[in-house]
């Protein structure tokens, strides 16, 4: 592909894909806020805290069950299409989905038969969570497959379907259906227990999966049947991606776990509410980079380093500007926002909100260095960085959390998250020869081309 076709790539994949993604992600973000707004009024702070812990466990367990297949299928499908190996696409997709279903069902069974009650009763000392073990196990299996299904569409550059059928914090259909169910529950009974809430979330996920499978079957009709089974390639690529992704997600959820183990569920509710709100900082980042993973794999394998760097740095600029505005709003009006969304009880989390938002901003400024390394064969480097920074942060959080509680844990994880992203930013430069941070100069050069 000639160099002057970079503009076409940006217009077709980045601009068009991100434009549709913006609508979907904003809708999903509003729906998640609506879910939390409703739950804060349906549940007691203790039950709300257990909900956050349960959701956190589901997200991490679902990634553990995927064994890296969600990321691996994006890369292999994109590479097969880019190299015109169309006959291998179906085999890659079917094999990845089958592996995830087997692994997720196995992990769900382990959780139901003992692991879940041990976590609830011993680690978190949350009897309410222990009564939800069966529902949490089913939720885990569904979310694991949902993530893989949605990411498969990304390999085809079908960002619309990825946004529609993605999982928690990524997709649109599931949170909207969950919100509708909770609103009906609120209007009819004005109260609910945690089992009702989780049941609605499980049902919404199942419906999203069903519609997504139908959409994927239609897309695969364009590709010839194949007897090729890419088990070896998927597993070889998947396990480093799996370990890196699992470590990153565990790192982002571990603050809730540490707080849940050291403090009560009510503290977890306040922290979780602030953390979910701070996560909106990443919304512009997710939107503008939704279309880039498959493009990263294609441009890198074609040796288009300069085009790849321009794509990443310009898209990072578009993510950083709105994130900076949101950070300022959270710092100035955090207490008012928390009180409005969740109630006066949760206004105490304003300081936590500002701290966590600052950590998110640093990760946005450095750009998608981690995604770039995962999509270009440097996942081992990313894995080492993630492992070392996560272990150090977790150990420090346990020590600080005993004396300084939620605020101390927030500071530790915000700083740890920032250090982790800075190290990945440098590693991307060393390993790939590109920078991923904000660049006004690249945007100006692109506009003049």
pLDDT tens track for 26-72: 788 888 889 999 999 899 999 999 999 999 999 999 988 988 888 78
- Helical H segments across 156-193, by residue range: 159-165, 173-189
Q: Round to the nearest angstrom and report the end-to-end CA distance of the chain.
A: 16
Cα 114 to Cα 2: distance, rounded to the nearest angstrom: 57
Residues 382-402: b if buried by 16+ CB within 10 A, e if exposed = bbebbeebbeebbebbeebbe
Per-residue confidence (pLDDT) for residue 20, from 0 to 100: 65
The single residue listed with the structure tokens 């500071």 is 411
Residues 281-292: b if buried by 16+ CB within 10 A, e if exposed = bbbbbbbbbbbb
Cα 241 to Cα 74: distance, rounded to the nearest angstrom: 11
Cα 79 to Cα 84: distance, rounded to the nearest angstrom: 8
Per-residue pLDDT at 1 exceeds 50: no
**DSSP label of 241:** H
Per-residue confidence (pLDDT) for residue 248, from 0 to 100: 74
Of residues 384, 370, 363, 364, the one with CA closest to residue 428: 370
Number of residues that this document lists for the chain: 449
221-256 pLDDT per residue, tens: 878 776 566 677 777 777 766 776 777 777 788 899
23 compared with 169, residue with greater pLDDT: 23
pLDDT range class, residue 6, cuts 50, 70, 90: very low
Helix %, strand %, coil % of the chain (to 5): 85, 0, 15
What is the model's pTM? Answer: 0.81
Which residues make Cβ contacts (< 8 Å) with residue 425, sequence separation at least 6? Answer: 366, 367, 369, 435, 436, 437
Mean pLDDT, to the nearest integer, of 181-203?
Answer: 89
Report the percent of the chain where pLDDT is more than 70.
88
- Give the Å distances, CA to CA, from 22 to 318, 329, 377: 12, 20, 29
- Give the Å distances, CA to CA, from 256 to 183, 274, 297, 391, 442: 26, 11, 34, 15, 39
Per-residue pLDDT at 102 exceeds 90: yes
Cα 360 to Cα 99: distance, rounded to the nearest angstrom: 33
Q: Supply 57's token pair.
A: 């466990």
Residues 33-70: b if buried by 16+ CB within 10 A, e if exposed = bbbbbbbbebbebbbbbbbbbbbbbbbbbbbbbbbbbb
Environment class of 30 (CB within 10 Å of its CB; exposed 0-12, middle 13-18, buried 19+): middle
Cα 266 to Cα 263: distance, rounded to the nearest angstrom: 8
Environment class of 448 (CB within 10 Å of its CB; exposed 0-12, middle 13-18, buried 19+): exposed
Phi, psi dihedrals of residue 66, rounded to the nearest 5°? -80, -20
């Amino acid at each position: 592909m000639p160099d002057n076709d970079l503009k076409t790539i940006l217009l077709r994949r980045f601009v068009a894909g991100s434009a549709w993604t913006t609508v979907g992600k904003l809708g999903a973000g509003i729906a998640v806020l609506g879910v939390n707004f409703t739950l804060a009024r349906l549940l007691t702070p203790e039950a709300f805290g257990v909900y956050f812990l349960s959701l956190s466990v589901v997200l991490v367990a679902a990634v553990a069950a995927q064994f890296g297949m969600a990321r691996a299928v994006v890369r292999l499908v994109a590479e097969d299409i880019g190299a015109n190996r169309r006959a291998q696409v179906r085999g890659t997709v079917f094999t990845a989905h089958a592996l995830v279903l087997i692994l997720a069902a196995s992990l769900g069974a382990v959780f139901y038969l003992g692991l879940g009650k041990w976590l609830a009763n011993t680690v978190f000392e949350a009897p309410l969570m222990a009564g939800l073990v069966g529902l949490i196990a089913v939720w885990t299996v569904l979310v694991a497959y949902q993530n893989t299904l949605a990411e498969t569409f990304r390999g085809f550059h079908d960002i619309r379907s990825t946004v529609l059928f993605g999982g928690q914090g990524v997709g649109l259909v599931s949170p909207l259906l969950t919100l509708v169910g909770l609103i009906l529950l609120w209007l009819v009974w004005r109260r609910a227990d945690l089992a009702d809430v989780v049941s609605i979330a499980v049902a919404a996920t199942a419906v999203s999966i069903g519609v997504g499978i139908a959409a994927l079957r239609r897309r695969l009709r364009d590709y010839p049947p194949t007897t090729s089974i890419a088990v070896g390639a998927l597993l070889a690529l998947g396990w480093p991606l799996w370990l890196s992704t699992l470590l990153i997600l565990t790192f982002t959820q571990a603050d809730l776990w540490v707080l849940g183990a050291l403090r009560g569920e009510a503290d977890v509710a306040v922290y979780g509410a602030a953390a979910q709100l701070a996560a909106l900082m990443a919304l512009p980042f997710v939107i503008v980079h939704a279309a880039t993973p498959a493009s990263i794999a294609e441009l890198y394998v074609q040796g288009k380093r300069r085009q790849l760097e321009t794509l990443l740095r310009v898209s990072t600029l578009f993510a950083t500007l709105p994130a900076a505005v949101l950070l300022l709003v959270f710092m100035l009006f955090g207490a008012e926002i928390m009180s409005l969304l969740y109630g006066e009880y949760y206004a105490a989390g304003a300081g936590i909100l500002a701290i966590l938002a600052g950590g998110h901003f640093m990760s946005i400024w450095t750009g998608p260095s981690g995604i770039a390394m995962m999509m270009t064969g440097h996942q081992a480097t990313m894995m080492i960085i993630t492992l070392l920074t996560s272990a150090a942060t977790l150990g420090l959080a346990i020590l600080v959390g005993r004396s300084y509680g939620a605020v101390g844990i927030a500071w530790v994880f915000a700083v740890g998250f920032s250090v982790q992203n800075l190290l990945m930013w440098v590693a991307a430069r060393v390993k790939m020869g590109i920078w991923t941070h904000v660049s006004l100069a690249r945007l100006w050069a692109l506009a003049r081309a």
